[in-house]
Chains A and B, each alone.
Chain A
Amino acid sequence: MIKQSQGARLRIVDFLLEYLVLIAIVALILITAIVSPRFLTVDNFINLMRQFGPLSFVALGMTFIIVGGFIDLSIPGMISLVAMVTLMLVDTIGEIPALIIGLLLGTTMGFINGMILVISGASTQAKALFITFGMSLIYRSIALIITGGFPMNWGTLFEHPMPVTRTLGAGTLGILSHSFILFLFFLAVLFIFQSKTFLGRAIAYTGGNLNAAELGGIPTKRIMIFIYALCGFMTAVGAIVLFSRVSVTVPTVGTFFERDAIMAVVVGGTSLLGGKGSVLRTVMGVSLVILMSNCMNLMGVNTHMQEVVRGAILVLAVWLDHRRHERG
């Protein structure tokens, strides 16, 4: 009898750990809906969807880095540089070519991150943390140097009308915003990539046990470069979606995106230890992070207090990640 109830309790705990994010999301929606009547309005829904934009792309990219057992702090630098370079080029070479160059630039920066890790022999998350932190400073500073520190006011000061950027930033299809549709597209592609392809599985092997994967014939070095390049690409997409929403873009526009992306990935339940996780979990994580901001804004919680809550949730998520790992 006692044994059985213990077993049942264990199962409940496992269940709670597994679906904690979903439960939290539902709870958050219910509470906010009750407390603030503005929450369940169409305006707020569109607002939420737009907020979903930039962070969700970055977090999708970050998912692969974290599943691969690494981390990328260079996001703020990459976002800033991609945004600035793309916007600077629009008037000279046209909008579409500039956007393509922006995407290539993001991918290249990620590729460089990965190459540096491979060449330096950095094979741990901790080393990746410091290397990408350094790279972020470099990318961000380049963004500041080439713009002289001035913001880009593409909304009013540019000659080019930038139709693609404008529709991406404000257009809707039915009730879905364009950026959200773009997000759904990337989610579908990356989900299939992660769960069905050899490369997707190889990333998990690399994150699960780098040594074993290497000895088992998995091309771990190529995988490291690939995940950083992929993250760079997704970050570039995030950067474009980000500046599409605001007509004035400052050179430090990417600040804190690495923090929110890591938080979304980990809160979603992808393990910081590597090997385990999925882009679907990241979607839940992003939803939670954004709903939480929205909820606290609607309830009029002070900005500094919001930071306290964010910090606490990140700590809690890492803690739970560890507990889950111990439970196996």
Chain B
Amino acid sequence: MVKGNEDSESVYSGSEMLYFFMLEKGRMTVDTKKNEVILSIKNVSKSFPGVRALDDVSVAFSRGTVHGVVGENGAGKSTLMKILSGIYTKDAGTVVFDGEEIEHTTPVQSLKRGLSIIYQEFNLVNTLTAGENIFLGRYAELKGMRNIHRKARALLDSIGSTINTNKLVGDLSAAEKQMVEITKALSFDSKLIIMDEPSSSLTADELKRLFVIIDDLRKKGVTIIYISHKLDEIFQLCDMVTIIRDGKIIDTKSIEKLTRSDMIAKMIGREIENEYPERSRCVGETIMEVRDIRTRKLKDISFELKKGEILGFVGLVGAGRTEIVRAIYGADKAKELKIFINEKEVKIKNPRDGKRESIGLLPEDRKLEGLVLPFSVQANITMSSLEGITKFGFIRKAKEKDIAIRQIKNLSIKTPSPNTKAKTLSGGNQQKCIMGRWLEIDPDILILDEPTRGIDVGTKYEIYLLVKKIAEKGGSVIMISSELPEVLAMSNRVLTICEGRISGEFNPEIDSAHDIMDAAIG
């Protein structure tokens, strides 16, 4: 059985439920205006060498609605959005925006027509102020900086944001940057705003604020295309949903006519029995004890990790979760840190020491910290085990190939060959390459920092199974994740991290999700 909508919402408190109810009401009031189509796409196709990224895609977006677009990684969502903004040119088909057929366009032209895209990574200049960013490239039209800041203020006020327009964007939080992006979109009088995974770096609170703003925009007649992997958000927010798979539109339906399990089945083309595998239960003796980590950000972090245990770290982005594991692994310097493995104190000063003590780290950002993107799948998988298969410093090529093939099979990594470049793989398969790298070494302690971020549902499940298998074979896992249900379903024990401290220890089978979230928020 798929976990139902009701179940997953039990994570939210009473006041939050009330808030969702109000959203629901807001949705009713605009129903009447929904019929007018703002953007229609007909028979659009796009091919890249060797891949048909979009295949005869047709979909219409109505004015004043929030339209969700879901699909696994590599399904074609990003390609579609990039065609709309003008980064890619379509091979065939028509795009009609606001009554005007669009043949060729550029990102700037699209903006001026009233179509803006807010990317996951944001498109802002960190060294300029919020106000300057909002009106970037239009200083002359606005006749001076004072006007810019005044108008920016007015726009920010209109979405209920209190960001100081004179603050540098580099100093803003992810949520504030997103507000600046939204304001920038509004400054162009956007009729359609595409948001690509807007929630990926937001905390629960910030997400709520974003939802209020989106709802407000909807009431003003702005159309929002909301791309997300998180189905809970889609159900809370969207009026319509389009499901894309393998470059084809599988279905476009109003949200009431879809259940969560329908949607998952349509995204992956098959039914998934469970969203999470059954919890592993093989916790043994203490393997690692960490005492008094102290860095500029962390204060007195002490905890134990047991053999065969999956230990979850829950906390807001920026609470210090990543810093803890990086300090343990030796990636960051700590002012004070004592680690005991099997009751013996070990000194870990750099990742090599960490690896020697049989610790592995799957980093938070797989593209920046995990993979060498232009290198082959093989080179990426064997990176950490290569040193062990040398003879007089020479790599034994046959063994190297064996490792790559073994892990590709073991993790069912979808790649044409071991020599395919890692950057051509989908996010999930890229993540599996890094998993494979560590599984080959088979460390006693494996640290997973956001292992499923930006990964499609099917691959997520495979990763859960892998983690479970590691624990069952006696390995210990520390799992950091921003997706609360995931940590709660997988872990044997959960530590909440708040502002650089451990704020609580919970048993996810007994303690309620609400209590855990409460401790994480502080």
Question: A residues within 8 Å of B by Cβ?
Answer: 3, 7, 10, 196-199, 201-202, 204-205, 208-209, 211-219, 221, 275-276, 325, 328
**Majority SS at the chain A contact face:** helix
Listed from nearest, the 4 A-B pairs whose CB atoms lie closest are A208-B372, A217-B355, A209-B372, A216-B383
Query: Which B390-432 residues have a C-beta within 8 angstroms of A?
Result: 390, 393-395, 421, 423-424
Smallest CB-CB separation from A221: which chain B residue?
B350
Give the chain A neighbours of B350 by CB distance below 8 A: 214, 221
Smallest CB-CB separation from A206: which chain B residue?
B372
| A328 CA to B383 CA, complexed, in Å | 20
| A328: contacting residue among B355, B393, B421, B437, CB under 8 A | B421
Give the chain B neighbours of A211 by CB distance below 8 A: 363, 368-369
Smallest CB-CB separation from B370: which chain A residue?
A212
| A213 CA to B375 CA, complexed, in Å | 12
Q: Are A275 and B383 in contact (CB under 8 A)?
A: no
Give the distance to chain A from B322, nearest Cβ to Cβ, in Å.
Answer: 12
Known pairs A216-B383, A221-B350 / 9 extra A-B pairs, C-beta < 8 Å: A197-B390, A198-B386, A198-B393, A205-B372, A209-B369, A211-B369, A214-B350, A217-B352, A328-B374
Q: Mark contacts of B376-396 with chain A using CB atoms, 8 A cut-off: 1 yes-contact digit, 0 otherwise.
A: 000100011011001001110
Q: Is B446 an interface residue (CB 8 A)?
A: no
Give the chain A neighbours of B207 by CB distance below 8 A: none
| A214 CA to B329 CA, complexed, in Å | 11
Evaluate whether A216 and B384 lie within 8 angstroms (CB atoms) in the complex, with A7-B49, A211-B369, A325-B374 already known: yes
Give the chain A neighbours of B361 by CB distance below 8 A: 215
Give the chain B neighbours of A205 by CB distance below 8 A: 372, 375, 379, 383
Q: Is B43 an interface residue (CB 8 A)?
A: no
14 contacts between A and B (CB under 8 A): A196-B395, A197-B394, A197-B395, A198-B387, A198-B390, A209-B369, A209-B373, A211-B363, A211-B369, A212-B370, A215-B363, A217-B351, A275-B375, A328-B424
| A214: contacting residue among B331, B390, B424, CB under 8 A | B331
Q: Are A214 and B351 in contact (CB under 8 A)?
A: yes
| A197 CA to B400 CA, complexed, in Å | 12
| A209 CA to B372 CA, complexed, in Å | 5
Q: Mark contacts of B352-375 with chain A using CB atoms, 8 A cut-off: 1 yes-contact digit, 0 otherwise.
A: 101100000101000011111111
| A328 CA to B372 CA, complexed, in Å | 12
Give the chain B neighbours of A197 by CB distance below 8 A: 390, 393-395
| A328 CA to B50 CA, complexed, in Å | 14
| A3 CA to B47 CA, complexed, in Å | 9
Give the chain B neighbours of A275 by CB distance below 8 A: 372, 374-375
Smallest CB-CB separation from B366: which chain A residue?
A212
| A328 CA to B355 CA, complexed, in Å | 31
| A212: contacting residue among B371, B386, B390, B423, CB under 8 A | B371
Give the chain A neighbours of B395 by CB distance below 8 A: 196-198, 201
Q: Are B372 and A212 in contact (CB under 8 A)?
A: yes
| A197 CA to B375 CA, complexed, in Å | 17
Give the chain A neighbours of B369 by CB distance below 8 A: 209, 211-212, 215
Give the distance to chain B from A281, nearest Cβ to Cβ, in Å.
Answer: 16
| A3 CA to B92 CA, complexed, in Å | 13
Give the chain A neighbours of B49 by CB distance below 8 A: 7, 10
| A10 CA to B49 CA, complexed, in Å | 9
Give the chain B neighbours of A202 by CB distance below 8 A: 386
Q: Are A276 and B374 in contact (CB under 8 A)?
A: yes
Give the chain A neighbours of B363 by CB distance below 8 A: 211-212, 215
Give the distance to chain A from B365, nearest Cβ to Cβ, in Å.
Answer: 9
Smallest CB-CB separation from A219: which chain B residue?
B352
Give the chain A neighbours of B351 by CB distance below 8 A: 214-217
Q: Are B375 and A328 in contact (CB under 8 A)?
A: no
Give the chain B neighbours of A209 by CB distance below 8 A: 368-369, 371-373
| A81 CA to B331 CA, complexed, in Å | 38
Evaluate whether A215 and B331 lie within 8 angstroms (CB atoms) in the complex, with A3-B47, A198-B387 already known: yes
Q: Are B393 and A213 in contact (CB under 8 A)?
A: no
Give the distance to chain B from A114, nearest Cβ to Cβ, in Å.
Answer: 17
Q: Are B373 and A201 in contact (CB under 8 A)?
A: no
Give the chain B neighbours of A215 by CB distance below 8 A: 329, 331, 351, 361, 363, 369-370
| A137 CA to B354 CA, complexed, in Å | 40
| A218: contacting residue among B329, B373, B383, CB under 8 A | B383
| A199: contacting residue among B355, B393, B423, CB under 8 A | B393
Smallest CB-CB separation from A214: which chain B residue?
B351
Give the chain B neighbours of A217 by CB distance below 8 A: 351-352, 354-355, 383-384, 387
Give the chain A neighbours of B372 by CB distance below 8 A: 205, 208-209, 212-213, 275
Give the distance to chain B from A82, nearest Cβ to Cβ, in Å.
Answer: 28
Give the chain A neighbours of B352 by CB distance below 8 A: 217, 219
Give the chain B neighbours of A218 by CB distance below 8 A: 383
| A202 CA to B368 CA, complexed, in Å | 17
